[in-house]
Amino acid sequence: MSQSQILDAYFTENREKHLEELSEFLRIPSISSLSEHKQDIQTAAEWLADKLRALNIENVSVDQTAGHPVVYGEWLHAEGKPTILFYGHYDVQPVDPLHLWESEPFNPVIRDNKLFARGASDDKGQVYMHLKMLEALFATEGTLPVNVKFIYEGEEEIGSPNLPAYVEEHKEKLAADLILISDTGLYAPGKPAVCYGLRGLTGVQIDVRGAKGDLHSGLYGGGVQNAIHALADILASFRDEHGTIQVEGFYDNVRPLSEEERQAYRELNFDEAALKQEVGVTELFGEEGYSYLEQTWARPTLEINGVFGGFSGEGIKTVLPAEAGAKITCRLVPDQDPNEIVQLLKAHIEKHKPKGVEVTVSEFDKGAPFLTPFDHPLIQAAGRSYERVYNVPTAFTRGGGSIPIVAAFDEILALPVVLMGFGLNSENFHAPNEHFHLENFDKGLRVLGDYLHEVSNLKF
Amino acid sequence: MSQSQILDAYFTENREKHLEELSEFLRIPSISSLSEHKQDIQTAAEWLADKLRALNIENVSVDQTAGHPVVYGEWLHAEGKPTILFYGHYDVQPVDPLHLWESEPFNPVIRDNKLFARGASDDKGQVYMHLKMLEALFATEGTLPVNVKFIYEGEEEIGSPNLPAYVEEHKEKLAADLILISDTGLYAPGKPAVCYGLRGLTGVQIDVRGAKGDLHSGLYGGGVQNAIHALADILASFRDEHGTIQVEGFYDNVRPLSEEERQAYRELNFDEAALKQEVGVTELFGEEGYSYLEQTWARPTLEINGVFGGFSGEGIKTVLPAEAGAKITCRLVPDQDPNEIVQLLKAHIEKHKPKGVEVTVSEFDKGAPFLTPFDHPLIQAAGRSYERVYNVPTAFTRGGGSIPIVAAFDEILALPVVLMGFGLNSENFHAPNEHFHLENFDKGLRVLGDYLHEVSNLKF
């Protein structure tokens, strides 16, 4: 039997036991956003630490932070071999509205080869796969092909407020050759994906003030500036009719897509017709010269997230509004800098400020974009591991969204980040009836095992 | 003694009795918008009808409508003389917030030569002046110099929903040579005004829809149209940076100001610095080439009254909004037609509709603009009557606001409308502590008496 056949046999033999144990993990209602679950969070951290210890992982600790604890562990006996830092999170989203769940969120059940429970896919199920993959390697090979470290947090669902400080503080302890994160998804059912980039985020709120109070549009209309008109002028100045952002310098530091990347995206044969149906539009709309995937993965955006001002009730109120505001966020791509972009936005607003109003700009939280180069050996190796198990070419993707903690790892630890996830977008993470397709649990274990061998032999 | 001295003496002698009787009228809480005051409305109408009968006014009736009643009466014995139709309203605004009133709203008290009560200025006090002026003429001259008719309604504060139908139905009965309305104000304390024009009103709501639901701005941002961006493009297209309206054909039927009117406005020496301080702006903003008074009295407007879409709570929500909307109203001037303007707005919106969204436009109620020509003999005569009593030149003004019923009279009865009001903008009509400066009650009675003699001898 080959190495992979032996691993395969181990996973098959222990499947029931593994799922039983994962269910134990899923029964702990470790909701990070609700203070009444603080003890459950602690319990989940201890459970995870115990499981690491049971694997002979060393220096396991449950490290307290200003919020929920971080679970650390390491095994560093693969001399001369690379070190993989595993990241994941053991906290989960709230479960409201409870009445929409077909089975209880913290009472895992398997239906149709899908495991239903809060956290099944995001992210306990995937964290647990790391552990079982290592257990299988120890059991069948007596050792690991690489060195490993673990950092599992309990605050991902609330924005990882304390993790950057922890990482900064334990920079040396966390040193590694790459960080492996299983918290993303396949490209589609049966089609695995390596996500090698995520967009960053920055944003501002624009508040416009005209008169000191709302005015009667009959008495004053025509002679005093209207805050909503002024705001509309600013908002309309941000993009042209094709969606191209008009903020001076906005695109200056955008790293162009390589021909290889564009080719890889084209090969995905993205179904725009299906997308239009999904979101309910008759035509898509975006920057000219780029495909939908390029627009949403590799190009920056400027979106108005909200606008408000004046009267919005039923019918008519002939007011000349004194105040209006809008919230704007930009998704950023390498090598845009969130702080620099905010300055460009401010300069643009200042330049386009209409007469007769005061404009205030306040900043939201920022997150840097992240990218491990498409042709990085660790990215390409991950693609090969997926392909060997799923028997189809791996999709190399980027994410249009932002996971600020990924950018923080990238920045603080200066490590290549490899996102190898096994979820599916249809799995209702953050919604009722979260579930995990167990075929991806089964395959994922094999992919991860294969990847550790790949990394063991890789020059990078 | 001259005619005016005799009238003067009558008013002086009967002042206390008149104010006592007006207080009786003001004690009736005839709030038209609150159904629990339906009986009070009826009581106020009957009170008014009784007072008309006491003056030997004939064919007095309290005519029921689908809403609150109309009080009618006539006296037509001034053979060969013009007929004046008097209009006013006996209903009042609600009184909330009650705790801000220094004395009870329906318990009239005089402080500082001001009569405090709901309706004191708007409009019971002014309606009552019509009656007492006629009483004085009957008492001192035994007859009236003109024929008179009365139409007093109880629904002005709720938009006169049933009056146009009533006027239409009783067109012949209401035939007259002019309609005299006392429901406006002086230009400033001590400075009387004849308001010879009012702006009309029309408006639309614009609803923009993109995707079938809000989208994640990370996953879809850059590839799907954002409803707020689309709306902002439409809104910004309505006016240029100077406030000039860009809707094609919008100004086509605007009647230009005559040089006489512009000169009359200039002579008012409008205090722009005081206005800026009043509304709290450092600069005014309006169509170039027109003064503030011209902009707000004689030029049409397009104002966004409200805008809404996406997330408007605290902080950030990275949503790509599927829906956004705005409410827009236009103040119109002669000879703009509200229906035609709505068509122009719709065509403009259609022309400026961005890609990737559906736009729905719905219409609000409309009101035509009204204008009795500045040089009309009845307007100039009103100016002379004011001037003789106040001893300063009368201001000839227009109102920036809209009183739809005035336009309805203008349209249905095809009469010159003369607005001779005696209120002051500072008198808190529609707010707590409404009051009426009694010096204008005293002077107004004399102005009205003088005007009836003016009209009696006028060729027009």
Q: Are A449 and A442 in contact (CB under 8 A)?
A: no
Mean pLDDT across the stretch B29-34? 95
CA–CA distances in Å: residue B108 to residues B26, B27, B433, B438? 7, 7, 10, 13
Supply the pLDDT for residue B26.
Answer: 98
Supply the pLDDT for residue A108.
Answer: 98
For residue B323, the chain A residue with the least C-alpha distance is A306
The beta-carbon neighbor of A222 closest among B213, B241, B287 is: B287
Cα separation, B20 vs B173, in Å, equals 33
Supply the pLDDT for residue A134.
Answer: 97
Beta strand ranges found along B210-302 (DSSP E) = 215-216
Q: Is the predicted pLDDT of residue B404 greater than 80, yes or no?
A: no
Mean pLDDT across the stretch B252-268? 95
Q: Measured between CA atoms, how close is A303 to chain B, in angstroms?
A: 7
Supply the pLDDT for residue A366.
Answer: 87
Say if the Cβ atoms of B305 and A319 lie within 8 Å: yes
Closest alpha carbon to A185 in A436, A450, A455 = A436
Per-residue pLDDT band at B430 (split at 50, 70, 90): confident
- Reading the block at residue B221, the tokens are 């941002």
Cα separation, B84 vs B141, in Å, equals 18
Say if the Cβ atoms of A296 and B210 lie within 8 Å: no
Per-residue pLDDT band at B90 (split at 50, 70, 90): very high
Mean pLDDT across the stretch B14-30? 98
The beta-carbon neighbor of A303 closest among B221, B241, B281 is: B221
Say if the Cβ atoms of A311 and B320 lie within 8 Å: no
Helix (H, G, I), strand (E, B) or coil at A342: helix
Q: What's chain B's average pLDDT?
A: 95
Q: Are B411 and B368 in contact (CB under 8 A)?
A: yes
Mean pLDDT across the stretch A233-252? 97
CB pairs under 8 A between A and B: 270
The beta-carbon neighbor of B364 closest among A301, A303, A316 is: A316
Per-residue pLDDT band at B16 (split at 50, 70, 90): very high
Cα separation, A431 vs A77, in Å, equals 41
Helix (H, G, I), strand (E, B) or coil at B85: strand
Q: Are A94 and A180 in contact (CB under 8 A)?
A: no
Supply the pLDDT for residue A26.
Answer: 98
For residue B272, the chain A residue with the least C-alpha distance is A223
Per-residue pLDDT band at B411 (split at 50, 70, 90): confident
Spell out which residues of chain A touch residue B208, defining contact as CB-CB under 8 Å: none
Burial class (CB in 10 A: 0-12, 13-18, 19+), A133: buried
Residue B376 CB partners (closer than 8 Å, separation 6+): B196, B416, B460
The beta-carbon neighbor of A309 closest among B210, B296, B306 is: B306
Closest alpha carbon to A400 in A354, A333, A458 = A333
Say if the Cβ atoms of B329 and A217 lie within 8 Å: yes
* Per-position b or e across B126-151, b if 16+ CB within 10 A of its CB: bbbbbbbbbbbbeebeeebbbbbbbb
Spell out which residues of chain A touch residue B303, defining contact as CB-CB under 8 Å: 217, 221, 226, 229, 318, 320
For residue A403, the chain B residue with the least C-alpha distance is B218
- Reading the block at residue B419, the tokens are 């607005």
Closest alpha carbon to B230 in B320, B334, B164, B315 = B320
CA–CA distances in Å: residue B427 to residues B152, B189, B438? 22, 11, 11
Per-residue pLDDT band at A226 (split at 50, 70, 90): very high
List of domains in chain B: 3-198+369-456 (3.40.630.10), 200-252+300-363 (3.30.70.360), 255-296 (no CATH)
pLDDT in tens, A400-435: 888 778 888 988 999 999 999 999 988 998 889 999
Q: Is the predicted pLDDT of residue A331 greater than 90, yes or no?
A: yes
Q: Are strands B147-153 and B83-89 parallel, antiparallel or unpaired?
A: parallel
* Per-position b or e across B390-406, b if 16+ CB within 10 A of its CB: beeebbbbbbbbbbbbb
Q: What's chain A's average pLDDT?
A: 95
Cα separation, A64 vs A61, in Å, equals 9
For residue B324, the chain A residue with the least C-alpha distance is A307
- Write the DSSP assignment of A157-205 as a string of letters: GGT-TTHHHHHHHTTTTT--SEEEE--SB-SBTTB-EEEEEE-EEEEEE
Residue B442 neighbours by CB distance under 10 Å: 19
pLDDT in tens, B353-367: 999 999 999 999 888
Cis peptide before A91 (omega within 30 of 0): no
The DSSP element (H or E) to which A360 belongs, if any, is: strand A358-363
Q: Is the predicted pLDDT of residue A202 greater than 80, yes or no?
A: yes
Q: Of A349 and B98, which is predicted with more confidence?
A: A349
Q: Is the predicted pLDDT of residue A378 greater than 80, yes or no?
A: yes
Mean pLDDT across the stretch B219-225? 94
Cα separation, B413 vs B406, in Å, equals 10
- Reading the block at residue B388, the tokens are 């003789």
Supply the pLDDT for residue B3.
Answer: 86
Cα separation, A458 vs A151, in Å, equals 23
Mean pLDDT across the stretch B57-74? 98
Supply the pLDDT for residue A2.
Answer: 87
Closest alpha carbon to A256 in A222, A233, A290, A205 = A290
Q: Is the predicted pLDDT of residue B335 greater than 90, yes or no?
A: yes
Cα separation, B306 vs B235, in Å, equals 11
Mean pLDDT across the stretch A291-312? 96
Say if the Cβ atoms of A225 and B281 lie within 8 Å: yes
Range of lowest pLDDT (A211-225, B56-70, B377-391): A211-225
Per-residue pLDDT band at B407 (split at 50, 70, 90): confident
CA B88 to centroid of chain Cα atoms = 11
Q: Is the predicted pLDDT of residue B345 greater than 80, yes or no?
A: yes
Burial class (CB in 10 A: 0-12, 13-18, 19+), A328: buried
Per-residue pLDDT band at B159 (split at 50, 70, 90): confident
Supply the pLDDT for residue A354.
Answer: 94
Residue B260 neighbours by CB distance under 10 Å: 11
Residue A22 CB partners (closer than 8 Å, separation 6+): A108, A115, A124, A125, A128
Supply the pLDDT for residue A292.
Answer: 96
ipTM of the complex: 0.87
Spell out which residues of chain B touch residue A316, defining contact as CB-CB under 8 Å: 203, 305, 327, 329, 364-365
Burial class (CB in 10 A: 0-12, 13-18, 19+), B275: middle
Supply the pLDDT for residue B1.
Answer: 79
Per-residue pLDDT band at B410 (split at 50, 70, 90): confident
pLDDT in tens, A132-163: 999 999 999 999 999 999 999 999 998 899 99
pLDDT in tens, A92-107: 999 988 999 999 999 9
Say if the Cβ atoms of A304 and B280 lie within 8 Å: no
The DSSP element (H or E) to which A236 belongs, if any, is: helix A227-236
Cα separation, A146 vs A84, in Å, equals 7
Q: Are B321 and B227 in contact (CB under 8 A)?
A: yes
Residue A458 CB partners (closer than 8 Å, separation 6+): A82, A377, A378, A381
Spell out which residues of chain A touch residue B201, defining contact as CB-CB under 8 Å: 218, 318
Helix (H, G, I), strand (E, B) or coil at A244: coil
Supply the pLDDT for residue A78.
Answer: 97
pLDDT in tens, A7-39: 999 999 999 999 999 999 999 999 999 999 999
